[in-house]
C-alpha cells in the first residue's frame, strides 16, 4: 500500500493490498478499495462506496457524491458499487443512488474516458466504453459491450442494449435495442455488424438479428404486429434478445429508424 502524505484517508476506510493513493486525494470512512487499485491525485471518494480490485481512477474523479436530485435527503443510505479492472479517467463523476437503499453500479472492465458523468442509480454492465464528456442521467442502464461516443447525452430511465454503438454528440430519450448503430437525436441507423463480428457472433446469428431488425423497422408493421410475427419465427438467442428488449421497452419506447438510412 502506497499513500501520499498529502492524501486524507479516513482510518475507518478499508484499503486493500497494493493500493496507491495519490496527492491530495480524500477517502471517506465508508470507502472500500480493493487490492491493486490506483487512485491518482485530487480524487474524492465519499459516502458508501465499494471499489473492487485492479481499478485505475484518474486525477480529479469524484465517486460517491450525493445525487443531483432535489428530492434527495442526506440521511438516506445509498451506495456506489464498482467492480474490477475498470479504467476511470480524469474528472469523471459517479453519484450514489437516490432512493433509500439504492445503488449506482458499474461492472467490470469498463472504460470511462475523461469528464464522463454517471448519474444516480445508473447500471453499467461489463466492457462498456463511455467516451469523453458523456452525460448519463439518473437510472440509465447500459448493457455489456456498448460504446457511447463522446459528448453524447442519455435521458433518465432509458436503456441502452448490448453492443450498441452510439455516434458522438448524439442525444437519446428512448431505449436503444441491442446490436444497433445510433446517432443524432433518437435515431437508429442500422445494425452494428462490425461489433457483432468482433464479438464472435456467427453468420447465422448475424443474419437472424438482421431479420429481426427488418421485421421491426422496415416491414411496415407496427411494433405489436412485428413482435407477434417475430414470436412465431424460429430465431436463435441473439435475435430473440433483440425482440425481447423491445417487448420490455414499452415505458419509454424505442428509438425509430432514421429516414433514408441505408438498408441492411
* Whether residues 29 and 126 fall in one domain: yes
Q: Does one domain contain both 21 and 78?
A: yes
pLDDT confidence of residue 186:
97
* Residue 264 confidence (pLDDT): 46
Are both 219 and 118 inside the same structural domain?
no
**Same-domain check for residues 9 and 105:** yes
**CATH at 38:** 2.160.10.10
CA 207 to chain centre: 27
Task: Check whether residue 230 and residue 150 sit in a common domain.
Answer: no
pLDDT at 259: 78
Listed residues 139, 157, 175: the one ending a domain = 157
Task: Please state, in angstroms and rounded to a whole number, the distance separating the CA atoms of residues 115 and 97.
Answer: 20
C-alpha distances (whole Å) from 6 to each of 9, 24, 56, 69, 204 are 9, 5, 19, 32, 57
Residue 118 lies in a domain: yes
User: Is residue 146 domain-shared with residue 243, that is, in the same domain?
Assistant: no
Tell whether 16 and 99 lie within a shared domain. yes
Write the CATH number for 235.
1.20.1180.10
153 and 29 co-located in one domain: yes
User: In total, how many domains does the chain have?
Assistant: 2
- Is 173 a member of any domain? no
CA distances from 44 to 25, 66, 141, 199 (A): 6, 12, 24, 35
Same domain, 120 and 215: no
- Write a three-state SS string for 221-254: CCHHHHHHHHHCCCCCHHHHHHHHHHHCCCCCCE
8 and 108 part of one domain: yes
Q: Is residue 210 part of a domain?
A: yes
Could you tell me if residue 135 is inside a domain?
yes
Residues 39 and 126 in one domain: yes
| Residue 33 resides in a domain | yes
Query: Residue 48 falls within a domain, yes or no?
Result: yes
Q: Is residue 57 part of a domain?
A: yes
| Domain's final residue, options 136, 157, 178 | 157
Q: What is the pLDDT along the chain (264 residues), one digit of tens a residue?
A: 999 999 999 999 999 999 999 999 999 999 999 999 999 999 999 999 999 999 999 999 999 999 999 999 999 999 999 999 999 999 999 999 999 999 999 999 999 999 999 999 999 999 999 999 999 999 999 999 999 999 999 999 999 999 999 999 999 999 999 999 999 999 999 999 999 999 999 999 999 999 999 999 999 999 999 999 999 999 999 999 999 999 999 678 999 999 776 544
Q: Are residues 138 and 237 in the same domain?
A: no
In-domain check, residue 97? yes
Expressed as residue numbers, the domain containing 227 is 196-247
- Distance separating alpha carbons of residues 233 and 124, to the nearest angstrom: 31
Amino acid at each position: 500500500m502506497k499513500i501520499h502524505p498529502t492524501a486524507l484517508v479516513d482510518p475507518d476506510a478499508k484499503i486493500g493490498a497494493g493500493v496507491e493513493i495519490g496527492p491530495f486525494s480524500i477517502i471517506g470512512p465508508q470507502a472500500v478499495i480493493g487490492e491493486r487499485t490506483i487512485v491518482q491525485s485530487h480524487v474524492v471518494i465519499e459516502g458508501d462506496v465499494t471499489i473492487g480490485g485492479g481499478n485505475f481512477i484518474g486525477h480529479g474523479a469524484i465517486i460517491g457524491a450525493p445525487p443531483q436530485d432535489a428530492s434527495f435527503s442526506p440521511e438516506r443510505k445509498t451506495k456506489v458499487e464498482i467492480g474490477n479492472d475498470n479504467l476511470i479517467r480524469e474528472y469523471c463523476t459517479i453519484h450514489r443512488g437516490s432512493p433509500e437503499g439504492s445503488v449506482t453500479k458499474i461492472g467490470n472492465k469498463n472504460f470511462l474516458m475523461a469528464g464522463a458523468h454517471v448519474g444516480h442509480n445508473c447500471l453499467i454492465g461489463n466492457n462498456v466504453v463511455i467516451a469523453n464528456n458523456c452525460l448519463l442521467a439518473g437510472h440509465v442502464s447500459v448493457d455489456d459491450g456498448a460504446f457511447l461516443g463522446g459528448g453524447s447525452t442519455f435521458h433518465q430511465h432509458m436503456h441502452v442494449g448490448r453492443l450498441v454503438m452510439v455516434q458522438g454528440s448524439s442525444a437519446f430519450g428512448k431505449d436503444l435495442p441491442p446490436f444497433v448503430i445510433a446517432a443524432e437525436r433518437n435515431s437508429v441507423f442500422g445494425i452494428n455488424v462490425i461489433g457483432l463480428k468482433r464479438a464472435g457472433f456467427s453468420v447465422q446469428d448475424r443474419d437472424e438479428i438482421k431479420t429481426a431488425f427488418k421485421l421491426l423497422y422496415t416491414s411496415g408493421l407496427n411494433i405489436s404486429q412485428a413482435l407477434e410475427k417475430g414470436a412465431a419465427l424460429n430465431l436463435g438467442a441473439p435475435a430473440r434478445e433483440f425482440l425481447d428488449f423491445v417487448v420490455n421497452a414499452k415505458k419509454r419506447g424505442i428509438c425509430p429508424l432514421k429516414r433514408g438510412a441505408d438498408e441492411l
